[in-house]
Amino acid sequence: MAKLLILFAHPVFEKSRIHKRMVNHTRHLEHVYFHDLYETYPDLDIDINREQQLLLEHDIIIWQHPFYWYSAPAMIKQWQDLVLEHNWAYGANGKMLTGKRIFNALSCGGSLEAYSQTGRNRFSIRQFLTPFEQTATLCNMHYMPPFVVHGTHKMSEADIELHAVQYLQLLISLVHNRISEDEYQSVNYLNDLLPVPEQVKS
């Protein structure tokens, strides 16, 4: 069994539609530690020792957040800036995170087509996530493809539910080590490894 740590950052969680459902489906899963960063640190005053200890205790880390201005909400950046210390996470003597896996689980207003060379956002989600990927790589971690929920603005309640169920299936597969490195390296999004519920296909 793998131990999962969800680093959750949503500054207005009370207004959330997508993440509220994703969290409701997954927060009580066994072997998954749900950590709400804005709730824990409303003043952005992060307890570095506690965060580093949590990282050491888990195998797979998830940055779960809405996509804000082509990136994550400020809390995720604050967490990276403070927790991923030199000679702890990276640098000649910084090997504490070696071998752990990490990925983003995000929702965004834009469609998949909007995140293409000819779309309005001009770049793909994977391109926008390059700083996350390289941060993970510098810290000797394996960066996995993201789990992405596109088109949130026009999403029906039924589709929100289906994506939340897909996210639940993903976390269960990860806990049970059912997704190999070869498999996740072969896809653009982790969603591509999961069965697509019928309503989402059409």
Ligand X SMILES: Cc1cc2nc3c(=O)[nH]c(=O)nc-3n(C[C@H](O)[C@H](O)[C@H](O)COP(=O)(O)O)c2cc1C
Q: Which residues bind ligand X (CB under 6 A)?
A: 16-19, 66-70, 107-110, 152
Shortest Å distance, C-beta 108 to ligand X: 3
User: DSSP H helical segments within the chain, as ranges?
Assistant: 18-26, 37-40, 48-56, 74-83, 125-128, 130-138, 157-175, 181-185, 198-201
Shortest Å distance, C-beta 178 to ligand X: 27
- Residue 173 pairs with which residues in a beta bridge? none
Cα–Cα distance for residue pair 112/148, rounded to 1 Å: 9
For ligand X, the closer CB: 110 or 197: 110
Task: List the one residue out of 194, 148, 165 whose CA is nearest residue 29.
Answer: 165
For ligand X, the closer CB: 36 or 85: 36
Shortest Å distance, C-beta 128 to ligand X: 8
Shortest Å distance, C-beta 43 to ligand X: 20
Q: What angle do CA 44, 48, 53 make, to 5 degrees?
A: 130
Q: 88 vs 75, 76, 124, 142, CA distance in Å? A: 20, 18, 32, 17
For ligand X, the closer CB: 91 or 109: 109
Write the DSSP symbol of residue 16.
-
For ligand X, the closer CB: 105 or 136: 105
Shortest Å distance, C-beta 42 to ligand X: 18
For ligand X, the closer CB: 40 or 71: 71
